Structure 1
Amino acid sequence: MRQSKLAALALATTAVLGLPTAQATAQPSPFPFDTGSLGSGSGDPEIPTEDTLPDLTVTPLLEGLDHPWDAVQAPDGAVLTGQRSGGFFVRRADGSTGPVAADLADLYVQSETGLMGIALAADFAQSRRLYTCQGFQGGGVTDIRIQSWTVDSAWTELTRGAAVLTGIPVQDGRHGGCRILTAADGTLFVGTGDTAAPGVPQDPNSLGGKTLHINPDGTPAAGNPNAASPVYTLGHRNAQGLAQQPGTGRVYAVDQGTTRDDEVNLLVAGGNYGYKPDRIPGIYDESVPMTDPVRVPGAIAAVWSSGSTTLATGSGAFVSGSGWGPWNGAFVMGGLKTKQLIFLRLAADGQSVTAQTFGLQDQYGRLRSVTPTPDGSLLVTTDNGDTDQVLRVTPQG
């Protein structure tokens, strides 16, 4: 039934976009996995919207920032963020705030690329180690890389460690977003953009347009489709959100759409999520479907898609705690274009969405990142310019 549904969806999409059927030539998958049975393609505009979100209390933690891309909360209560153009800032547990010194002399800042995702190491309480995903330029090399750091106990200085992973492509900064997720087992998932280059999303030898899975030392994690490669999944446009569902271990990626269809994808090792913008040789053709099972046989349908209007989803997380009421355990995303939080209630099997709701509409402008904290609140970063904030959003259920 799902394969039939995917085929029907592909034909409908082809008709809408005017794609000649002669161009829908079957091509071999770069990975030797049959992944076509996963995903129900439930990006259905008929998903019910419920007005049951609890009241939200919003507390500014850091202000006067310029495009803070991510924020994390350490076990000691300190909240760390970084500006895309460079510079780390902290709010310590005692309420004091200020910059955190760090050597960012080789930071590459261009368009959508700069200092981006931040993640604490699983053993941060002992090692004081964290990771950033950032543009790099030096020695004739320009790329995006995962950089390790250690921070002192007073949160005054970050000391640069090894570059954990290099070679994530970047081109003029477009679609250079990079999100890091520390999984429950201590490994790292990384979501990358396709650099707006036509062949990148489907190229298994490129680290762009992918989700990557690595060990803390940068080596490929166990279970990757190619044991010698960090590539975990392919066929993404700009995977800017990553989250692991508590209790199930399922990992989801949020992919920004073109003129339609932002997506939430349930990741499976070796999965191809169907973005193939090279219909015209050498041209980055964004008129193709975000998930194209005609030109990408076995492409996995999205768990959720935004439909004909994009929301510009820039992050993803799971909320937890009784304060969230009926939305306890829901998946939440930051909406950039629509200036809101988007909550999705997932089905028990994790492959579809049963309800959605929205919060903070038009109150704080563009909302970039969402990060869960142990007390059930969310850290949310705004993305408006040089007046941005890190907010703590607490449910009052």
Structure 2
Amino acid sequence: MPLAARSPAAGACTRAVLAAALLLTGCSGDGTGDLPGRQEAEAPTGAPDGGGTAPGGLPALEVETVLDGLDHPWDVAQAPDGTLLLDERGGGLTVVLPDGAARELDADLADLFAVGETGLMGLVLSPSFADDRRFYTCQGVEEDGGAEIQVVAWTVDAGWTRATRVADPLVGDIPVNESSGRHGGCRVRFDPTGALLVGTGDNAVGANPQDLGTTAGKVLRVDPATGGPAPGNPFADDADPDTRLVLSSGHRNVQGIAVHPGTGAVYTAEQGSDRDDEVNLSVPGGNYGWDPDGSGGGYDESVPMTDPAVPGAIPAVWSSGLPTIATSGAEFLSGAQWGGYDGVLVIGVQKDTGVLALRVDEGRLVEQFRVPELEDTYGRVRTPVLGSDDALYLTTDNGDGEDRLLRVTPA
């Protein structure tokens, strides 16, 4: 949709620094052996409807439309000055200024590969954005007669008129399914150490999740300045440069990455197979058990997301069971103003539409329910993000110019 149609409304052991950030220490020699905490993980837990009834005592929520007329908005971030930056999968960056005015951000996206689920996807601001004006996208790119997924670093001018590529790419050669765009990932978020986490999809290629020689079906952990492996990565001494970037493997399609505000633990949300969607606690060097190619040469979506046949597979913190709900972006709510929602992990839902809320404690599921004000009201929810103003921003993912950027606050 043209912008005018949009209406703004008011091999070595993980080093201590990484282990501390994720509340876990130690690793095995190959990164796939037993790690502390595995034996304590509970079995996947879900509910038939992928949620449940909200408990009493929660504050009522107010939902307002910030921007409409969007088409598959994928991610959103809020700068310290209150400006919102969002992207759309088919291409385009939009800013919403503090006064509510919305406009297109000039950016070179001529090489964008947008097919199926792949396009302009994850977006995140630098933790030091106020000083460096830097942000990062994860996007499909057509290059040299082929396509791949890349993480690109940009800067934006002080007037929010133009974005310029400054590391193009920061991380390249992430595989993509060129024929369908299926399972392209690709969420980007920062961990508590300042490393950039990149959640990738398996491209619907059965061998990828268990192959440490490819960056598909993984969570990567990279230095945001160089694109190389971040200090403390579990496979930092591996001979393969791709393997050195890997934080964890055995993933199908990582759509959400969220950092717990109290502990710094990293949780990932993953769109699942015919069997289950998952939320996982991130463990350096961990294998999360997705192996649709277990017998070789196939893509069997009937196997569990955490396949017990995979040695050392880490159980999920939460699993949908049947029916699946297509979990997407994830974010922790934080602050006394959220009342009973404080500390809750909220996750976008794309099949049984709405927002799933999970209360977790050190990798254990305590409570799960659906957010009443968002249930089956706005369609598919792609991404929840807590803004710098402590409001929750949501992007919907319905297509055909029917999508919105929503702002949610406690009444």
TM-score (norm 2): 0.86
Post-superposition Cα deviations, 1:99-135, rounded to whole Å, max 9, x if no partner, equal 0010001100100000000000111101100000000
Q: Which residue of 1 aligns with 2:7?
A: none
Residue 365 of structure 2 aligns with which residue?
352
Structure-2 residue corresponding to 1:368 = 382
Task: Verify the 8 A CA contact 1:235 1:273 in the aligned structure 2.
Answer: yes
In structure 2, distance between residues paired with 1:167 and 1:135: 10
Q: Superposition pairs for residues 158-197 of structure 1, below 5 Å?
A: 158-162=163-167, 163-171=169-177, 172=179, 173-197=181-205
**Equivalent residue number for residue 339 of structure 1:** 353
Question: Matched residues in 2 for 1:182 and 1:262: separation?
Answer: 23
Q: Which residue of 2 aligns with 1:211?
A: 219
- 1:223 equivalent in alignment to 2:237: no
Q: CA deviation at 1:31?
A: 2.6
Sequence identity percentage: 49
Equivalent pair of 2:76/2:84 in contact (CA under 8 Å): yes
Is 1:302 aligned to residue 311 of structure 2? Answer: no
1:37 partnered with 2:39: yes
Change (3 A) 1:38 1:137: farther
Q: Which runs of 5+ in 2 are unaligned?
A: 1-27, 238-243
* Structure 1: segments with no counterpart, 5+ residues: 1-27
C-alpha deviation, 1:32, in angstroms: 4.4
1:51 is aligned to 55
* Alignment coverage as a number of residue pairs: 367
1:315 aligns with 2:329: yes
- AA aligned opposite 1:34: D
Which secondary structure does the structure 2 equivalent of 1:75 belong to?
coil
Q: CA deviation at 1:30?
A: 5.8
For 1:50 and 1:84, locate their aligned partners in 2 and report how far apart those are by CA, in whole Å.
32
1:279 maps to which of 285, 288, 294:
294
Q: Quickly say closer, same or farther: Cα 1:29–1:277, change in 2 above 3 A.
A: farther
1:360-394 residue CA offsets vs partner (Å, 9 max, x unmatched)? 11111111000012333111000011121111111
Write out per-residue CA displacement over residues 314-342 of structure 1, whole angstroms, 9 at most, x where no aligned residue: 11000012232222110000111111111
Counterparts of 1:69 and 1:353, CA distance in 2:
29
Q: Find the counterpart in structure 2 of residue 383 from structure 1.
A: 397
- Offset of residue 219 of structure 1: 1.1
> Residues 29 and 259 (structure 1 numbering): CA distance in 2 closer, same or farther, change over 3 Å?
farther
CA contact (8 A) 1:78 1:93 kept: yes
Residue matched to 2:19: none
Moved more, 103-112 or 58-67: 58-67
Which residue of the partner structure matches residue 108 of structure 1? Answer: 113
**Corresponding position of 1:328:** 342
Q: Aligned with 1:326: secondary structure?
A: helix
Seen in structure 2, the aligned counterparts of structure 1 residues 354 and 387 have a Cα distance that, compared at 3 Å, is: closer
Cα deviations by residue, 1:216-265 (Å, 9 ceiling, x for unpaired):
12111122111151100000100110011112110000011112311000
Q: How does 1:148-163 map to 2 (within 5 A)?
A: 148-162=153-167, 163=169
Contact 1:117 1:179 in 2 (8 A): yes
Measured after TM superposition, the shift of residue 37 of structure 1 is: 2.0
Rounded Cα–Cα distance in structure 2 between residues aligned with 1:136 and 1:144: 6
User: Residues of 1 paired with 2:163 and 2:208: CA distance?
Assistant: 33
C-alpha displacement of 1:279 = 2.9
Q: Summarize the Cα distance change of 1:357–1:30 in structure 2 as closer, same or farther, 3 Å threshold.
A: same
CA distance in 1, matches of 2:182, 2:216: 12
What does residue 14 of structure 2 align with? Answer: none
Contact 2:354–2:370 (CA under 8 A) maintained in structure 1: no
Give the structure-1-normalised TM-score: 0.89
Asked whether the 8 Å contact 1:108–1:136 carries over to 2, the reply is yes
Corresponding residue of 2:258: 243
Q: Following the alignment from structure 1 to structure 2, what is the Cα–Cα distance between the partners of residues 201 and 30?
A: 16
Matched residues in 1 for 2:94 and 2:195: separation?
26
**Cα RMSD (Å):** 1.8
The match for 1:4 is none
Check conservation: 1:271, 1:300, Cα contact below 8 A: yes
Describe how 1:245-260 pairs up with structure 2 within 5 A. Answer: 245-260=260-275
Between stretches 278-287 and 332-341, larger displacement belongs to: 278-287
Q: Does the 8 A contact of 1:381 with 1:389 survive in 2?
A: yes
Aligned residue identity for 2:318: W
Deviates more, 1:369-378 or 1:30-39: 30-39
Specify which of 136, 141, 158 is matched with residue 136 of structure 1.
141
SS class of match (1:37): helix
1:81 aligned residue: 86
Displacement after TM superposition at 1:58 (Å): 1.2
Deviation for aligned residue 1:281:
2.2
Q: Deviations over 1:171-201 (max 9, x none)?
A: 1310002000022332111101000001000
